[in-house]
Structure 1
Amino acid sequence: MEIRTFVESDRAELRALFSRAGEGAATASLWGHAESEAAMYLEPYMDLEPDSLFVAVVDGALVGYLAGCLDSATFPSESERMEDAIRKYRLIFLPGPAVFFARGMADMAWASLRRQPTARDFEDARWPAHLHINMASPARGTGAADGLMNRWLDRLRDTGSPGCHLQTLVENARAVRFFERVGFAKHGPTPLVPGLRHGGARLHQQAMVWTP
């Protein structure tokens, strides 16, 4: 297995990996429109911070990736990227995404009536870096995720980063255990993620932080 930095010639293969990675997980697809989801969670990292994008390679094929950002304040926020995707792809006029966003609005109203928090962008200068990590199903349990994470944490140490955060799901116990094992700790409340479902159940955001 090879862990290396993304190069431009990886773009098409990495985009294809994005579409199939995370199969079976609650966030494998958010609203069923892979092109707009990639525009939010993959393409900005290829375009804006390729030196913080790492790939795992087995037998010449990409099997996983970690998309990182050293300073979230210099990067478009998730909310901004979502707004851009909604406009560019006219998501509210597409059946699958429209159902997701309508359900999200209903969830926000439901949470407001019960005075429960809903997920939002993470903003804390103590942990300015952030990451997304994703694996193809056959690569889970092979050490690829550990290799990617170790490469990313080395980059954070080398650049003198004060810390890193990530957002996962409370209900994704496997991911939470993995992040804890590599040094992240749970942080803050666990708000509802509007619109998202897995097995028909509402899901909740779990922020986790790492300090060198």
Structure 2
Amino acid sequence: MEVRSFTEADRGELRELFGRAGEGSPSASLWGHEDSEAAIYLNPYMDLAPDSLFVAVIDGALVGYLTGCLDGSKFPTESERMSKAIREHRLFFRPGTVFFFARAMLDTASATLRREPTAGDFHDARWPAHLHINVAPEARGTGAADALMNRWLDRLRETGSPGCHLQTLTENTRAVRFFRRMGFAEHAPTPLVPGIRYGGERLHQQTMVWNP
């Protein structure tokens, strides 16, 4: 297995990997529209932060990737990327996604009435960097995820980053255990993520932080 920096030649294969990496996990998909989700969690990193994008390769094939950003204040926020993708892909008018957004609005209204917080962007100068990591099902247990994370943490140390955060789901216990093992710690409350379901259950955002 090899972990290396992203190159432009990887773009097509990486986009294909995005569609199947994370299968079976609570965070596998938001609303079931792959192109718009890639426009949030993959394309901006290939375009704006390619030096912080790493891929795991086994037998010449991409099996995992980590997208990162050293300073979130210089990168479009997740909310901004999400709003843009929703507009450009007209998700409110697609039969396959309109139900998600209707449910998200109901969840938000219900949470407001109960004075329950809902998920959002994270801003804290102590942890300006952030990441997203995904590994294909066939590569789980090969050490690909560990190698990608170690490469990213080395980059943070080399650049003198004060810290890094990530956002996963509280119910994705496998991911939480992995990030904890890599040195991240749970931080802040766990607000509801409107609209999303896994096994029919509502899901909650878990922010985790790391310091060098």
Residues in 1 aligned to 2:20 and 2:176: alpha-carbon distance in whole angstroms: 21
Tell me what 1:37 maps to: 37
Q: What are the within-5 Å matches in structure 2 for residues 1-16 of structure 1? A: 1-16=1-16
State the one-letter code of the partner of 2:152: W
Q: Are the counterparts in 1 of residues 21 and 28 from structure 2 also a CA contact under 8 Å?
A: yes
Residues in 2 aligned to 1:180 and 1:96: alpha-carbon distance in whole angstroms: 35
Residues in 2 aligned to 1:98 and 1:160: alpha-carbon distance in whole angstroms: 43
Residues in 2 aligned to 1:85 and 1:12: alpha-carbon distance in whole angstroms: 19
The Cα offsets for residues 148-176 of structure 1, whole Å up to 9 and x where unpaired, read as 00000000000000000000010011100
State the one-letter code of the partner of 2:131: L
1:201 aligns with 2:201: yes
1:27 aligns with 2:27: yes
1:102 aligns with 2:99: no
Residues in 2 aligned to 1:30 and 1:120: alpha-carbon distance in whole angstroms: 14
Q: What's the CA shift for 1:26?
A: 1.5
Q: What's the CA shift for 1:185?
A: 0.2
SS in 1 for 2:19: helix
Aligned length: 212
Q: Are the counterparts in 1 of residues 71 and 128 from structure 2 also a CA contact under 8 Å?
A: yes
Q: Which moved more, 1:87-96 or 1:10-19?
A: 87-96
Tell me what 2:132 maps to: 132
What percent of counterpart residues are identical? 75
The Cα offsets for residues 85-111 of structure 1, whole Å up to 9 and x where unpaired, read as 111111100012211111110000111
Which aligned runs of 4 or more in structure 1 are off by greater than 4 angstroms? none
SS in 2 for 1:68: strand
Tell me what 2:65 maps to: 65
Relative to the length of structure 1, the TM-score reads 0.99
Tell me what 1:83 maps to: 83
Residues in 1 aligned to 2:29 and 2:188: alpha-carbon distance in whole angstroms: 25
Q: Structure 1: which 5+ residue stretches go unaligned? A: none
SS in 1 for 2:205: strand
Tell me what 1:146 maps to: 146
Residues in 2 aligned to 1:30 and 1:208: alpha-carbon distance in whole angstroms: 20
Relative to the length of structure 2, the TM-score reads 0.99
Q: Are the counterparts in 1 of residues 119 and 193 from structure 2 also a CA contact under 8 Å?
A: yes
The Cα offsets for residues 176-199 of structure 1, whole Å up to 9 and x where unpaired, read as 000000100000000000001000
Residues in 2 aligned to 1:96 and 1:28: alpha-carbon distance in whole angstroms: 16
State the one-letter code of the partner of 1:116: E
State the one-letter code of the partner of 1:172: N
The Cα offsets for residues 26-54 of structure 1, whole Å up to 9 and x where unpaired, read as 22111111001001000000000001000
Residues in 1 aligned to 2:66 and 2:11: alpha-carbon distance in whole angstroms: 14
Q: Are the counterparts in 1 of residues 27 and 172 from structure 2 also a CA contact under 8 Å?
A: no
Residues in 1 aligned to 2:14 and 2:182: alpha-carbon distance in whole angstroms: 24
Residues in 2 aligned to 1:149 and 1:92: alpha-carbon distance in whole angstroms: 35
Tell me what 1:112 maps to: 112
Q: Are the counterparts in 1 of residues 170 and 190 from structure 2 also a CA contact under 8 Å?
A: yes
Q: Structure 2: which 5+ residue stretches go unaligned? A: none
